[in-house]
Structure 1
């Protein structure tokens, strides 16, 4: 079956121009996904001259593969945030994501965007860990997020607990992106190859920018910033089924075998089967999801399937703010985890304020330079993965394929017929062409450079 998302199948965004000459701008944004486009729009509203540089087509990365939930419900994060970083910092996270939902709503109304915006509850459910959800509910309520606990859902199986976050939403991401991109200056098929101070070198010309925003999912500049030491990537899978009936709300199971469920038109999107990129040597994720769908919704038929890739930070909070202390004119938005749509709007609001010289009330919780004392164990774990991936014989002697990012050994992913990097998540198709970064070139390109 074709692995194209439902969003991409029913929406075609008009092509944007390609860069054809050198130029100067106030702000250059690398990445034409939801975060980059939203940031460009908000900056334009502030009178800031900016351009978006997209390596391929608008929304062709993770935006087209999202399940498009716009929520402040981000699994069980609030109880942990309060315990690890305190009530004040957790409140910033809650307020930022609640405000992101409101900002989407206001923008859609202002521009009259027809993107299937639908408001609903977002529900965490469990078959066996009800107390965890009760704690999460108390934590969220203490931060000003309305919730309710129940033992009932619309799902066709019993649960021991369900925590509903009220006033959440879902939408069609590419319909929204299509409308918003018409308002800004975007250059497609324009790949940023290198940065030299304020100069961005691309495959089609050079751009001089006073400020630069990395909104390209995973930053490709290793030093400074060292994001490759502070993040890993995970893959997750989605199937669309018909004949499963309707549910009104969105659901996410917190148990190991929990499913993500959301409606769209006459379909249900059922997700799960997540794993660290590069650790799927046996495959079978789509089959497992379809078996679960048939078990719970007897007679349903799969009509589409696709996958997504998410950047996971050490503490599950995105990195939004200055790229590094030594680069005062560089900014970054990355590490969104499974919550890319809401985090994209949060990024746009924070970065717009910072570039306009305003203090943002939420920037502390997301700061890439935040203290990481409690994250040392996670940092050591990321380092361990890198060491294992880099170890072994030289590729020439072993016949191995190595990632063009930092040389980690690639593994074969039979689910998607790709070579995946377990260190930092770069992916390549069976012919060696790059699919996902932070690698900047394909396997064949690397060999030609040697």
Structure 2
């Protein structure tokens, strides 16, 4: 049993050098995940030179932790979009994602990539209610998607109903990336620290570029753009099971407590769930919850891998793709993919490539980072504000929860040491690893995640390992 995504075990990506000194390019792309690499690939196809700057290794962030469903079925979204944004923008969203599936299919055929690409139907199901699924099926069909309501699935439990999307797909994301990175200009282990106008300052040198793309999952600059006020992050968990059932479709449940995700991959069943806002899993037990349910459904199953993923959630459930901010000409952003990073990455790469090369892109208005959608986002904006106030004040006012002597081995928590509130993890040998609980991004109090043995920020989703090392941003530095 390995605590990593199965994709990493089955695909060795080439290594790329770190930046050394100064560099110039037409386009600089921050982030070597699926969105960044696809953007560089599509730009090269249009004859535009781009350089990718990756803080760690290519696909070492959220891309390696995907369940790799390529689908335009993004939860209960189309009925909501039609109500809050109107039919035209909802149609843009549907078309951009349907075209993204076709683009994967075309690139894989053109480059002759063996990445286990398979066309599969995608299902959205519920154990409890039918009406939301009927509405969603009708809305998606009206927008041009081959969608229908059904009560028939292959799941090992009865459902009230499901929405079936035809012509969707799944693949092995790292085998795909291994092919398309060939010939691209990529610098790994090169962290972008600041960006000013056309210059990017990294820990290894500087890069000048006419166009700059932020494809780094979560923009690390607070201004302009103020994306930290318009998104939060959520975590989810996955088991890869042997000797469980194989499903022909891809499944996602809409029920809050029983919303399981299922798909087959590499002879295993990927079984996921346990969603929560980053920084709000003090009690842990997400993997064990999945294991318990898997044991009920498939008693003979064996766990081969387990891992978790983190996703950026926008106020109105639509990604931000396009110009970064009106005050930053030449900057672009791709973020807020919700839980649909593979399809959204292709949609983003297509839109950004069109904007850079021609100044206009079809089906892009719905994704505009400058959009104002009070009908879709006002409630969430107030909710996010409440979270921020609560979590910022926690660092100042909330007392420590224990003293270090009371912390069991193998556990972490916010405790009191020498009269100060700190974060402590006591490893299995009893050694205490002490860190600050103040997130270096904007000062929120970090919380212990026992499932990952990490310190997570409930405000904006930055994460650190138990020694204080930065795992992911928007924070750009470790904790003391």
Question: Which TM-score bucket, shorter chain as reference?
Answer: over 0.9
How many angstroms apart in 1 are the aligned matches of 2:157 and 2:62?
A: 31
In the alignment, what sits opposite 1:391?
A: 393
How many angstroms apart in 2 are the aligned matches of 1:77 and 1:296?
A: 29
Q: CA deviation at 1:210?
A: 0.6
SS in 1 for 2:184: coil
In the alignment, what sits opposite 1:211?
A: 211
Question: Does the aligned pair in 1 maintain the 2:2–2:304 contact within 8 Å?
Answer: no
Question: Does the aligned pair in 1 maintain the 2:395–2:444 contact within 8 Å?
Answer: no
SS in 2 for 1:183: coil
Question: Does the aligned pair in 2 maintain the 1:261–1:270 contact within 8 Å?
Answer: yes
In the alignment, what sits opposite 1:156?
A: 156
Question: Does the aligned pair in 1 maintain the 2:85–2:373 contact within 8 Å?
Answer: no
Q: CA deviation at 1:328?
A: 1.5
In the alignment, what sits opposite 1:403?
A: 439
Question: Does the aligned pair in 1 maintain the 2:395–2:438 contact within 8 Å?
Answer: no
Structural mapping, 1:60-71, within 5 Å: 60-71=60-71
How many angstroms apart in 2 are the aligned matches of 1:98 and 1:377?
A: 29
Deviation string, structure 1 residues 115-134 (Cα, Å, up to 9, x no partner): 01010100011111111111
In the alignment, what sits opposite 2:320?
A: 319
In the alignment, what sits opposite 2:472?
A: 436
Structure 2, unpaired ranges of 5+? 398-418, 423-435
Question: Does the aligned pair in 2 maintain the 1:41–1:183 contact within 8 Å?
Answer: no
SS in 1 for 2:291: helix
Deviation string, structure 1 residues 100-120 (Cα, Å, up to 9, x no partner): 000000000000111010101
How many angstroms apart in 2 are the aligned matches of 1:229 and 1:83?
A: 24
Q: More deviation in 153-162 or 96-105?
A: 153-162
Deviation string, structure 1 residues 332-363 (Cα, Å, up to 9, x no partner): 00000000000000000000010012421211
Structural mapping, 1:125-136, within 5 Å: 125-136=125-136
Deviation string, structure 1 residues 388-424 (Cα, Å, up to 9, x no partner): 1211465995346110110100001111110000000
How many angstroms apart in 1 are the aligned matches of 2:338 and 2:216?
A: 14
Question: Does the aligned pair in 2 maintain the 1:156–1:297 contact within 8 Å?
Answer: no
Number of residue-to-residue matches in the alignment: 444
Deviation string, structure 1 residues 74-113 (Cα, Å, up to 9, x no partner): 0110000000011100000000000000000000000011
Structure 1, unpaired ranges of 5+? 445-450
| TM-aligned CA distance change 1:11 to 1:394, over 3 Å | same
How many angstroms apart in 2 are the aligned matches of 1:129 and 1:328?
A: 47
How many angstroms apart in 2 are the aligned matches of 1:62 and 1:346?
A: 17
In the alignment, what sits opposite 1:416?
A: 452
In the alignment, what sits opposite 1:447?
A: none
Structural mapping, 1:180-219, within 5 Å: 180-219=180-219
Structural mapping, 1:273-284, within 5 Å: 273-284=274-285
* Aligned-residue CA RMSD (Å): 1.2
How many angstroms apart in 1 are the aligned matches of 2:335 and 2:378?
A: 20
How many angstroms apart in 2 are the aligned matches of 1:212 and 1:78?
A: 31
In the alignment, what sits opposite 1:249?
A: 249
